[in-house]
Structure 1
Amino acid sequence: MKLEMSIVGTAPLTSQWNSIDWNIILRKVRQIQTRI
């Protein structure tokens, strides 16, 4: 949850985030969390 919130928190800082597929990012974050 912390990683996900930190990523979302940095989103407004750059316009490049708008072109990123959030589904892929959240999917990767969840995979990392399940490993820990």
Structure 2
Amino acid sequence: MGTGISTAIKVRTIKCTALKKIYETTIHLIKSLPITL
């Protein structure tokens, strides 16, 4: 039972990290777009 909980937390952490990376990349792209255009 304990292993299932830790696995769920791990998966959630990985998902959160991935979402944060995508979010930061998107903001970075939006900020650099006006310069490119």
TM-score (norm 2): 0.42
Which structure has greater helix proportion? 2
TM-score (norm 1): 0.43
Q: Greater relative contact order: 1 or 2 (C-alpha under 8 angstroms, separation 6 or more)? A: 1
Higher-Rg structure is 2
